[in-house]
């Protein structure tokens, strides 16, 4: 199934694009660039190549509501014009919003765009799924743009103090949960002009901020894994971690407690369980070169010399961390960062590992990718 995503480099688009890439036997990704909307030949070529188009490209915020309205409706008009020129009939998904019924131009633009595509489908025997999406949060969202959670996470990891403008109840969905829902609908392949994506949690703004402040106090400042009581809190914690400046934080040295008997070191203090293990690595050998989409993981070097490398997916920047067992230290692995560890010393390397869930061969959440 050939799937193209307008707005593939946006917040939801990038998560959807990368998740589809984890199943190459089922999905082929058709690359989209935002410049295609200004080039009819490129846009037509893209449209003709797709079995499914997920239209996510849109403007969420601007000082002028009219600009938001004109932009969003204009993008839909260009997509429909291409569908009509090419006579292509992909299943088109369009992201709309629960703000459709609100009295603002953003909500009106989303509703009108969805209805225009539904009219195209009715008149051309096509298929459209209109996704009415609640508030989305997750790793790598743009602060002051995508969600209040993105803004809070950025502020709390960059020395700023968040403030609450309106402490209301908010319906939320984690970006990976939304992506999984979209993929399920793609596979179901049913015409659904008005499909309400159900939120997976409802929280007060102050409740979310309280959790994030706790993550800052425990994890950012002390390196302690906080208690995570449910899936929402795990997702929120991984979201928070994605905004940390890893290059300036790691490696973190352990506190050594030394007396005549030797030395005691606490590897990790945590409010959750998980799996602890260790490895020995001979000189010159590299372990890892994989990434996780949900797991929390810590590498602690207690003997020997190591190079730990991290690279965020879709980027070329590699973060290098040098650790030495003479001064035991650790690095935590962010989600969607491929990582490895190499013995760069002359002696055996001993590394302690902790991960928040035991390895399950049926659902390993481990994807191999060279750093």
pLDDT digit string (tens) for the chain, length 371 residues = 999 999 999 999 999 999 999 999 999 999 999 999 999 999 999 999 999 999 999 998 888 999 999 999 999 999 999 999 999 999 999 999 888 878 789 989 999 999 999 999 999 999 999 999 999 999 999 999 989 999 999 999 999 999 999 999 999 999 999 999 999 999 999 999 999 999 999 999 999 999 999 999 999 999 999 999 999 999 999 999 999 999 999 999 998 888 888 788 889 988 888 999 999 999 999 999 999 999 999 999 999 999 999 999 999 999 999 999 999 999 999 999 999 999 999 999 999 999 999 889 999 999 999 99
Distance CA 223, CA 215 (A): 10
**CATH architecture of structural domain 250-368:** Sandwich (2.60)
Helix 205-215 / helix 231-241 crossing angle, nearest 10 deg: 60
| Spatial separation of the C-alpha atoms in residues 42 and 72, rounded to whole Å | 20
Rg (CA), the chain: 23
| Phi, psi (deg, nearest 5) at residue 291 | -140, 165
Give CA–CA dist 233/243, Å, rounded. 16
Q: For the chain, what are the domain ranges?
A: 2-133, 250-368
Superfamily of domain 2-133: NAD(P)-binding Rossmann-like Domain (3.40.50.720)
Say how many C-beta atoms besides its own lie within 10 A of residue 258's C-beta: 9
The sign one gets for the Cα dihedral 256, 260, 262, 267 is: negative
- What token pair was written down for 161? 């103090």
> Which tokens hold the place of 95?
């992201």
Distance CA 2, CA 88 (A): 13
Q: What is the pTM of this model?
A: 0.93
In the chain, alpha helices (H): 11-20, 40-49, 65-86, 105-124, 148-157, 175-188, 205-215, 221-222, 231-241, 246-249
């Amino acid at each position: 199934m050939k799937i193209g995503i307008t707005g593939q480099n946006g917040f939801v688009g990038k998560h959807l694009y990368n998740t589809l890439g984890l199943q190459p036997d089922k999905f082929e990704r058709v690359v989209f660039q935002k410049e295609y909307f200004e080039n009819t030949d490129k846009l037509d070529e893209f449209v003709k190549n797709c079995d499914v188009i997920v239209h996510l490209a849109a403007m969420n915020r601007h000082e002028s509501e009219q600009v938001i309205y004109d932009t969003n409706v204009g993008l839909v008009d260009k997509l429909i014009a291409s569908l009509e020129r090419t006579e292509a009939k992909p299943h088109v998904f369009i992201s709309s919003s629960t703000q459709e019924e609100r009295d603002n131009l953003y909500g009106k633009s989303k509703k009108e765009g969805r209805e225009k595509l539904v009219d195209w489908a009715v008149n051309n025997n096509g298929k459209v799924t209109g996704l009415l999406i609640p508030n989305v949060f997750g790793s790598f969202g743009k602060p002051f743009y995508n969600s209040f959670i993105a803004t809070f996470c950025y502020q709390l990891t960059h020395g700023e103090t968040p403030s609450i403008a309106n402490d209301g109840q908010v319906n939320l969905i984690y970006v990976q949960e939304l992506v999984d829902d979209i993929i399920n609908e793609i596979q179901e392949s049913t015409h659904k002009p008005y499909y309400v994506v159900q939120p997976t949690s409802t929280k007060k703004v102050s409740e979310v901020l309280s959790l994030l402040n706790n993550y800052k106090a425990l994890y950012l400042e002390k390196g302690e894994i906080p208690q995570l009581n449910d899936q929402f809190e795990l997702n929120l914690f991984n979201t928070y971690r994605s905004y940390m400046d890893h290059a300036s934080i790691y490696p973190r040295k352990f506190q050594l407690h030394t007396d005549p008997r030797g030395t005691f070191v606490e590897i990790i203090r945590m409010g959750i369980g998980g799996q602890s293990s260790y490895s020995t690595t001979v000189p010159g050998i590299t372990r890892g070169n994989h990434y996780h989409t949900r797991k929390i993981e810590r590498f602690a070097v207690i003997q020997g010399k190591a190079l730990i490398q991290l690279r965020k997916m879709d980027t070329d920047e590699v973060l290098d961390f040098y650790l030495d067992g003479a001064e035991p230290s650790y690095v935590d692995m962010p989600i969607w960062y491929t990582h490895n560890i190499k013995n760069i010393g002359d002696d055996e390397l001993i590394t302690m590992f902790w991960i928040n869930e035991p390895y399950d061969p049926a659902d390993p959440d481990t994807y191999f990718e060279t750093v």
